[in-house]
Amino acid sequence: MTLLVGVVEGDPPSRDVLASRPDVRYVFIDPGSPPPAEAAAAEALLIWNVRSGYLRDHWRDFTRLRWVHAGTAGVERVLFPELATSDVVLTNSRYVFDEALAEYTIGLMLALTKDLQTTLRHQSEHRWVQRETETLSGKNVVMVGVGPIARRTAQIARALGMSVRGIGRTARRGDPDFGDIVAAGALRAAFVDADYVVMVLPSTPETAGLVDARAIAELRPTARLINVGRGSTLDQGALCAALRDGRLAGAALDVMTPEPLPADSPLWEVPNLIISPHMSGDHAGWQRDIAELFTRNLERFLQGEPLLNVVDKTLGYAPSEHV
């Protein structure tokens, strides 16, 4: 029998990147319209952009669904109650964005350490102002979250001569990349001697507001904070207050609340803050990489084998061997 796979399209469309095969028929779905009648028979669904809430809005239309693949690493926007309590398997695109996100994060660290904002401002003002900047080598970075993206970032940071510590769900010693990992309950103590805090957390009830005003207050005035995980995990107001008051040297946010950030948001004017539009993982070829991952999982699905990147719907993410 031919497997019917629904594809909720994104931008750009994916028709040309999904390889055809004789035992699979794709139904390409316009995310701005209700699913066509034939999509009701789809047993698998690939959703390129989960931000639209398409599946939640049309959940009852997919009567034979057994597997949903999200074209993202984070799944909080697709893990609505009906899906969470169903037997439908949810997989994500974990590992696809690791290298790009790690490189982007290191780039933000370098931009802050080398004060590139001031350099660019001087350039726009046609001013030749020589000055000293800091180095990353010898600095301490605390990774809040110890998943695959954080692990790759930690590896590069170590290669640059930085000392790394991790904060995870459970404590353990002697991790090859994070060194000693402490549990979230010890987060404030871990911040005391941090030069950099890098947040790479999923959005779950447990991580909501994890880095709050009290945690930010533990950071030294010379410290800097970067968030490339989810905006909900950080007290954004407390961070901005610390930057305005000079209690923090700098920060970079690739994720924030709300998204997209309104043009009149006061966040744009916060001093020593770099803002980017949730693009740290967007790399050339990302769509092809997701299509390849989906194709590998599709073969497993057809053969009745365990799928890759299965999301634990009680945790809100796909756990790895490292927790």
Q: Are residues 118 and 241 in the same domain?
A: yes
Q: Are residues 129 and 270 in the same domain?
A: yes
As a whole number of angstroms, the distance between CA 31 and CA 46 comes to: 12
Q: Are residues 72 and 149 in the same domain?
A: no
Question: How many alpha carbons lie under 13 Å from residue 30 in its C-beta half-sphere?
Answer: 5
Specify whether 103 is catalytic. no
Q: What share of the chain is helix, strand, coil (3-state, %, to 5)?
A: 30, 20, 50
- Count CB atoms within 10 A of the CB of residue 76: 17
pLDDT tens string, the chain, 323 residues long: the values are 799 999 999 988 898 899 889 999 999 999 999 999 999 999 999 999 998 899 999 999 999 999 999 999 999 999 999 999 999 999 999 999 999 999 999 999 999 999 999 999 999 999 999 999 999 999 999 999 999 999 999 999 999 999 999 999 999 999 999 999 999 999 999 999 999 999 999 999 999 999 999 999 999 999 999 999 999 999 999 999 999 999 999 999 999 999 999 999 999 999 999 999 999 999 999 999 999 999 999 999 999 999 999 999 999 999 875 43
As a whole number of angstroms, the distance between CA 140 and CA 137 comes to: 9
319 falls within a domain: no
Q: Are residues 149 and 28 in the same domain?
A: no
Using DSSP, state whether 123 is helix, strand or coil.
Answer: helix
Specify whether 278 is catalytic. yes
Q: What is the CATH number of the domain that holds 298?
A: 3.40.50.720
- Residue 78 lies in domain: 3-96+284-303
Q: Are residues 80 and 187 in the same domain?
A: no
Q: Are residues 25 and 119 in the same domain?
A: no
Q: How far lies 94's CA from each of 246, 290, 311, 319, in Å?
A: 37, 9, 10, 10
Q: Are residues 234 and 146 in the same domain?
A: yes
Catalytic residue among 38, 259, 299, 305: 259
Specify whether 283 is catalytic. no
Q: Are residues 154 and 123 in the same domain?
A: yes
Domain count, the chain: 2
Q: Are residues 134 and 74 in the same domain?
A: no
317 falls within a domain: no
56 falls within a domain: yes
Catalytic residue among 51, 66, 122, 278: 278
